[in-house]
């Protein structure tokens, strides 16, 4: 590394990238602060892990391929509509951009085209559920725009381009702006919020947030007249939004059919502690309940529960879980289950089509967190380049971004009985639970002041060296 070049480091738990050139001014690290000069007590601003948990991002080898020709009016010519030598990526979330980066590192000259139905903005998605209390507007979350990201990687990008049809026999995409030919195709289609069966004349006013665009819509709706928000779902995102919104001064009610928050993620003792701390901040829990109907009552809304109880609210936010976007793949005849079915190379039932991230499933399981997505991208890039780097379904490290009780979780797949978690006594305080493994641990939960130590426990599982 030359004296003037800067490196980038990534937190695999949340996707935060520490760029030495930019620093972290909000945490007191001026632009130009080298990783080696970061204080040991610094914590990731998104998830709270430490400096030692960051991983050096490999440098992207810049392509020297010429810029694609343009027409006289500045528009890209037909040569930019893909081709038999192109890798075409559909989706501009972390999964899509991760594949573009991984391919470019291995193959500086490979033509790559990224197509997105949205603007293709690059931003840390985990920051959405904690932006309100931090006083950040949607635009404050944006790292860069699609054109700048594409220029840095020397790839082509076509934002605001919705895919209408995938023809695997002809290896062609039909879009609202014309057709695109591909040699290899990567589906990074993401997921969408689950739609709950809610009746009433205001059921269409339920807000579903899963990206920056829908978060922007939420912030537009949060006028000064909004004082009470109802959240549907007491899972990870629901709890994060509940903590964030109460910190911003809003009254919050959370509805969930489960008996406790984070019921499928952490042991009961951790759920109880989190519920108590959020209750102290003003959160009202309506557990073992569902929203049956939502109706207009003048300027407010009336939320009616399945048990007949009702209350007034100003805004309803759904955080009821995600469903993989598989429609495009299904219509094209690709195999699907809970997602688009893939093998360990992330290859679908078609030998020239891959899937990654929230829309992909391996052996009936979706791996939707940052760390596995980046390993999936490496597996795809290796296979495209003619080698092999199998994606292994290892348990991801999950950070629950609830400042009232920070929680780090790494749990094995499948159902886990509450008595499988073994409490570990911590004289210094904090919550610590483990699932025993073969001579080590198979999973862990760290809460409170221990949450920032998750990186060390994660390495004990052999997930990262």
pLDDT tens digits along 249-300:
999 999 999 999 999 999 999 999 999 999 999 999 999 999 999 999 988 9
- Residue 139 CB neighbour total at 10 angstroms: 10
Answer whether CATH 2.20.28.10 is correct for domain 8-56: yes
**Per-residue model confidence as pLDDT tens digits over 106-144:** 999 999 999 999 999 998 888 888 888 888 889 988 889
Q: Which residue has the tokens 């929203």?
A: 291
Residues, the chain, total? 465
CATH value of 198-320 in 2.20.28.160, 3.40.50.11780, 3.50.50.60, 3.40.630.10: 3.50.50.60
- Domain ranges in the chain are 8-56, 78-192+323-384, 198-320, 406-460
Query: Tell me, which fold does domain 78-192+323-384 have in CATH?
Result: FAD/NAD(P)-binding domain (3.50.50)
Angle (nearest 5°) at CA 87 between 81 and 93:
95
Question: Could you give the residue ranges of the DSSP H alpha helices within 123-182?
Answer: 146-153
Per-residue model confidence (pLDDT) at position 76: 45
Equal CATH topology for 8-56 and 78-192+323-384: no
Residue from 318, 263, 251, 316 nearest 288 by CA:
263
- Token couple for 253: 């009610």
Report whether pLDDT(145) > 80. yes
The CB-side HSE value for 124 (13 A sphere, CA atoms) comes to 21
pLDDT tens sequence across 210-236: 889 889 999 999 999 999 999 999 999
Residue 400 has pLDDT above 60, yes or no: yes
The predicted pLDDT at position 309 comes to 94
Whether the predicted pLDDT of 327 surpasses 50? yes
Distance of alpha carbon 204 from alpha carbon 162, whole angstroms? 23
What DSSP character marks residue 94? H
Q: Can you tell me whether residue 192 is helix, strand or coil? A: strand
């Amino acid at each position: 590394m030359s004296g003037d070049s800067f490196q980038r480091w990534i937190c695999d738990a949340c996707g935060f990238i520490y760029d030495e050139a930019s620093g972290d001014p909000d945490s007191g690290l001026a632009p130009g602060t080298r990783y080696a000069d970061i204080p040991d007590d610094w914590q990731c601003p998104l998830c709270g892990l430490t400096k030692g948990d960051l991983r050096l991002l490999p440098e992207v080898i810049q392509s020297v391929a010429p810029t694609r020709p343009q027409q006289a009016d500045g528009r890209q010519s037909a040569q930019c509509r893909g081709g038999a030598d192109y890798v075409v990526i559909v989706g501009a979330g972390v999964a899509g951009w991760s594949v573009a980066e991984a391919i470019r590192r291995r193959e500086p000259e490979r033509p790559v085209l990224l197509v997105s139905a949205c603007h293709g903005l690059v931003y840390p998605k985990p920051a959405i559920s904690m932006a309100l209390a931090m006083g950040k507007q949607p635009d404050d979350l944006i790292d860069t725009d699609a054109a700048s990201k594409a220029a840095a990687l020397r790839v082509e990008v076509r934002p605001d381009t919705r895919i209408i049809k995938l023809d695997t026999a002809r290896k062609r995409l039909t879009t609202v702006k014309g057709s695109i030919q591909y040699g290899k195709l990567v589906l990074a289609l993401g997921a969408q919020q689950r739609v709950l069966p809610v009746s009433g004349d205001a059921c269409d006013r339920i807000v579903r947030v899963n990206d920056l665009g829908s978060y922007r819509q939420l912030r537009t709706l949060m006028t000064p007249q909004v004082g009470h928000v109802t959240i549907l779902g007491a899972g990870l995102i629901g709890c994060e939004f509940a903590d964030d919104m109460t910190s911003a001064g809003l009254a919050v009610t959370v509805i969930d059919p489960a008996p406790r928050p984070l019921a499928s993620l952490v042991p009961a003792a951790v759920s109880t502690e989190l519920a108590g701390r959020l209750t102290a901040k003003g959160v009202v829990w309506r557990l073992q309940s569902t929203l049956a109907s939502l109706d207009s009552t003048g300027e407010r809304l009336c939320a009616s529960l399945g048990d007949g109880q009702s209350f007034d609210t100003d805004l309803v936010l759904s955080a009821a879980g995600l469903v993989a976007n598989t429609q495009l793949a299904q219509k094209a005849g690709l195999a699907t289950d809970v997602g688009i079915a893939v093998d360990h190379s992330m290859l679908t039932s078609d030998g020239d089509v891959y899937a990654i991230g929230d829309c992909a499933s391996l052996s009936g399981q979706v791996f939707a967190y940052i760390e596995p997505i980046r390993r999936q991208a490496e597996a795809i890039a290796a296979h495209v380049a003619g080698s092999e780097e199998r994606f292994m379904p290892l348990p991801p490290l999950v950070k629950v971004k609830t400042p009232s009780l920070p929680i780090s979780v790494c749990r094995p797949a499948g159902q886990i009985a509450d008595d499988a978690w073994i409490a570990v006594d911590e004289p210094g305080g904090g919550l610590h639970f483990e699932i025993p493994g073969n001579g080590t641990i198979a999973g862990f939960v760290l809460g409170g002041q221990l949450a920032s130590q998750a990186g060390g426990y994660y390495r004990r599982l052999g997930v990262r060296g």
